[in-house]
Chain A
Amino acid sequence: MRRSRRNAEALAARVSAALRRRGLDAVLTGGSCVSIYSEGKYVSGDLDFVVTPDDDDRLIAEALAEVGLVRSGRVYSSPDTDLTVDILSPPLSVGSEPVRQVIERRVRGNTLRLLSPTDCVKDRLAAFYHWRDRQALEQAILVSLACRVDRRELRRWSKVEAMLPGYGEFSLALARARRGRHNTG
């Protein structure tokens, strides 16, 4: 299976469904949400799920085996795809705050639960704020250009994280990206 946004989303939805059938809640987070919201302008090879509860490794492994994924080190993978699945410990959070709203998407008959576009941008900004990761900043911009995000909420959250200067950098970079898109469009 080729690494693409559609394949990643379909596999994520199958993983999510297999976990839910065993009573486990799974929410997709990280770079894969960027892939989905940016319509594939960025493609991640990692499907990061926060699974609740996460204390039964056997049950999680059983669910992932159902979709052809086996444990390989700390992640789950398959010879049929170069996508890997990583199970993260709860709580589902962005920075120091819990995630309060999760989006549900129907994908090929399965329901995928994932971060909202605004929380996805927060998640990427957290990486930019704390590690100065410019790729994460670019991803935050891609999602902000493609989706409706709550800028007031992003600013409030950045303030709570004591990262208002970083939010200023993001705002400037986003304005530049908007101008660039307008000029080339």
Chain B
Amino acid sequence: MTTMGSQMTNRGSRRGSAVLRPVLGSALKENLLLYLLTHAEAYPRELAQVFGCALLSVQKQLAGLEQGGVVVSRLRGRVRLYQLNPRYPFRRELESLLLRALEFYPAGERERRYVPRLRPRKAGKELRP
């Protein structure tokens, strides 16, 4: 049986590094922005799974970023997909800052989380890192 305590531990172990927290005010915000930068787009449940946090926390961060024009979203089917807003006036500077921050992440985490697998993989075959 999984206890609440072990769930929290597992979630905690999936939290990402954060080197811009003093600037951005939130480790999760930094992680979400980096993920959107490296994956082009993502949906909230995917982000909550990747970073082992509550869906509501992700949704709140995304709502704030969308209100500020940093990200934009669109519906595909029933899923809301988010991406960095290409029209955000500080997009280039933000991307440079995020990429610079990524250099300070542990290599393992950087490759596991921020280098997306883009090539296809047949349905039913297990996805390996």
A60 on interface, CB distance cutoff 8 Å = no
Q: How far is the CA of A91 from the CA of B68 in the complex (A)?
A: 9
Task: Name A104-137 residues within 8 Å CB distance of B.
Answer: 126-127, 130-131
Q: Is the CB of A126 within 8 A of B67?
A: no
We find that the number of chain A residues with CB closer than 8 angstroms to chain B is 13
Is residue A93 contacting chain B, with contact meaning CB distance below 8 A?
yes
| Chain A residues in the interface with B (C-beta under 8 A) | 74, 88-89, 91, 93, 95-98, 126-127, 130-131
Q: Is B124 an interface residue (CB 8 A)?
A: no
Contacts of A93 in B (CB 8 A): 89
Measured CA separation A127–B69 after assembly (Å): 14
Main SS of chain B's interface residues?
loop
Partner of B69 from A89, A95, A96, A126 at Cβ < 8 Å = A89
Write out the residue numbers on chain B whose beta carbons fall within 8 Å of the beta carbon of A98: 89
Number of B interface residues, CB 8 Å?
9
* Least distance between A76 CB and chain B CB atoms (Å): 14
Are B87 and A91 interface neighbours, CB within 8 A?
no
Asked whether B89 lies within 8 Å of A88 as measured between CB atoms, the reply is no
**Chain A contacts for B87, CB-based, 8 A:** 95, 126-127, 130
**Of B69, B86, B89, which is within 8 A of A97 by CB?**
B89
Whether a CB of chain A sits under 8 angstroms from the CB of B80 is no
Does B92 sit within 8 A of A, measured CB to CB? yes
